[in-house]
């Protein structure tokens, strides 16, 4: 576990309070998107396909801080768009830190060198830098040459100034376990605090649909990566719970917990999660919790959710499982994710032919 003790204790005590209160649906990480505008156009991005009037919208400092207060999650992730484009981002970050919330400022790093002096190092602030692989892979993923080198220089600069820095990596088609392992070795050597890693979600709005890895291919890829990690005794610092990693390797059958990472963006509170647009918005966090038809979502319930294994949907599930089954989580943490043997059986989608999942289940009407 790469997260500092102060953060582990704060998040741990928040979770215990929720349990003591008997809260059924509570947030873990607020996904705060104060703008959709970005200075890149990545092949797998589902956030920038909006008309200019939407891309030009910004959440104000007050709207951002109101969202933080309203939601109450102990951690705030600020993705986007590119947050460093927002002129008031330093004030937004300062306000969140003043509330003693842990803020992950996600950035593609193109502007980090220019803007870094607008921020002060703090145990509550982490720059989460987007890197999808080594040079060729990352530059191809973000559809622009030279971005990898800029991001690496920015990481080194931020580390040298005493900032917490993590890397946020999304995996796409064509990756091999060896390639990802080499990437993890590289960022570990750079000295980042940790890496968040997940398969790309198949956004309907992404410019390209052929880049996403799906189903058992994802699980085999992660098994391959973890196997190399075990065999070569790597000390990669993956910023995830042991059970989420076990889930990625096909060893846990989880339903998502979309309210664990509620999303506030320029449209309001997005239903049901960070990944699905076009499902409606709520005007307050409470309205989001009370009016979202949560039962409609999840990989077996909704075709839009098919193949989703994103941490914003499943890390909260893994955390719940950890609280309910601490010995199982401890064992997964000691042995690492299982990399051989049968994977858990996936449930059949309920939306196929009205809940019927094989040809013989589908009634046939014969007319003469």
CA–CA gap between residue 48 and residue 112 (Å, rounded): 20
Q: Out of 83, 133, 262, 298, name the contact with ligand SF4 by CB under 6 A.
A: 298
Residue 108 binds ligand SF4 (CB under 6 A): yes
Total residues contacting ligand SF4 by CB under 6 A comes to 26
CA–CA gap between residue 14 and residue 17 (Å, rounded): 5
Reduce the DSSP state of residue 37 to 3 states and report it: coil
Least distance between ligand SF4 and beta carbon 84 (Å): 11
CA–CA gap between residue 93 and residue 206 (Å, rounded): 28
Q: Out of 28, 30, 35, 48, name the contact with ligand SF4 by CB under 6 A.
A: 48
Paired tokens of 19: 């349990």
Nearest to 237 by CA among 283, 196, 298, 180: 196
Residue 33 binds ligand SF4 (CB under 6 A): no
What is the Cβ-side half-sphere exposure of residue 249, based on CA atoms within 13 angstroms?
A: 21
Binding track over 255-294 against ligand SF4, x by CB under 6 A: -x-x-------------xx-xx------------------
Report DSSP letters for 48-77, one per residue: S-S-HHHHT----HHHHHHHHHHH--SEEE
Footprint on residues 304-363 left by ligand SF4 (CB under 6 A) = 305, 308, 310, 313
Segment near ligand SF4 (CB under 6 A), from 36-44, 83-91, 214-222, 351-359? Answer: 36-44
- Residue 295's CB is within 10 A of a number of other CB atoms, namely 8
Q: Out of 77, 126, 128, 299, name the contact with ligand SF4 by CB under 6 A.
A: 299
Residue 112 binds ligand SF4 (CB under 6 A): no
Residue 34 binds ligand SF4 (CB under 6 A): no
Q: Out of 3, 34, 47, 181, name the contact with ligand SF4 by CB under 6 A.
A: 47
**What are the C-alpha distances in Å from 237 to residues 123, 186, 229, 248, 322?**
18, 12, 11, 16, 19
Binding track over 49-88 against ligand SF4, x by CB under 6 A: -------------------------------xxx------
Report DSSP letters for 199-212, one per residue: EPP--TTSS-STT-
Nearer CB in complex with ligand SF4: 27/298: 298
Nearest to 215 by CA among 332, 341, 85, 308: 308
Least distance between ligand SF4 and beta carbon 286 (Å): 19
Binding residues (CB under 6 A) for ligand SF4: these are 38, 40-42, 45, 47-48, 80-82, 108, 130, 142, 256, 258, 272-273, 275-276, 297-299, 305, 308, 310, 313
């Amino acid at each position: 576990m790469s997260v500092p003790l102060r953060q582990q204790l704060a998040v741990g005590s928040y979770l215990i309070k929720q349990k003591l209160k008997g809260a059924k649906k509570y947030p873990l990480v607020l996904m705060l998107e104060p703008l959709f505008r970005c200075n890149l156009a990545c092949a797998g991005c589902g956030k920038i396909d909006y008309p200019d009037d939407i891309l030009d919208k910004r959440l104000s400092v007050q709207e951002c801080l109101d969202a933080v207060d309203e939601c109450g999650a102990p951690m705030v992730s600020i993705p986007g768009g590119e947050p460093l484009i927002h002129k008031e981002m330093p004030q937004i970050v300062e306000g969140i830190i003043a509330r003693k919330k842990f803020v992950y400022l996600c950035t593609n790093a193109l502007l980090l060198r220019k803007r870094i002096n607008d921020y002060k190092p703090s145990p509550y602030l982490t720059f989460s830098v987007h890197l999808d692989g080594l040079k060729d892979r990352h530059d191809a993923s973000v559809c622009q040459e030279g971005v990898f080198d800029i991001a690496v220089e920015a990481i080194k600069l931020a580390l040298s100034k005493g900032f917490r820095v993590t890397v946020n990596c999304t995996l796409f088609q064509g990756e091999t376990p060896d390639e990802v392992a080499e990437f993890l070795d590289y960022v570990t050597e750079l000295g980042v605090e940790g890496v968040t890693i997940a398969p790309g979600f198949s956004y309907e709005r992404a410019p390209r649909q052929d880049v996403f890895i799906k189903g058992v291919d994802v699980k085999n890829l992660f098994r391959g990566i973890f196997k190399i990690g075990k065999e070569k005794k790597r000390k990669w610092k993956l910023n995830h719970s042991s059970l989420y990693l076990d889930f990625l390797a096909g060893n846990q059958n989880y339903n998502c917990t979309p309210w664990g990472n509620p999303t506030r963006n320029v449209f309001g509170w997005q239903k049901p999660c960070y990944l699905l647009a076009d499902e409606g918005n709520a005007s307050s966090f409470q309205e989001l919790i009370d009016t979202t038809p949560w039962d409609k979502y999840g990989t077996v319930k909704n075709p839009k959710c098919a193949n989703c294994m994103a941490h914003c949907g499943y890390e909260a599930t893994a955390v719940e499982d950890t609280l309910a089954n601490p010995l199982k989580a401890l064992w997964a943490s000691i042995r690492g994710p299982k990399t051989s043997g049968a994977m858990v059986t996936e449930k059949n989608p309920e939306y196929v032919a009205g809940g019927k999942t094989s040809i013989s289940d589908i009634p046939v009407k014969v007319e003469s």
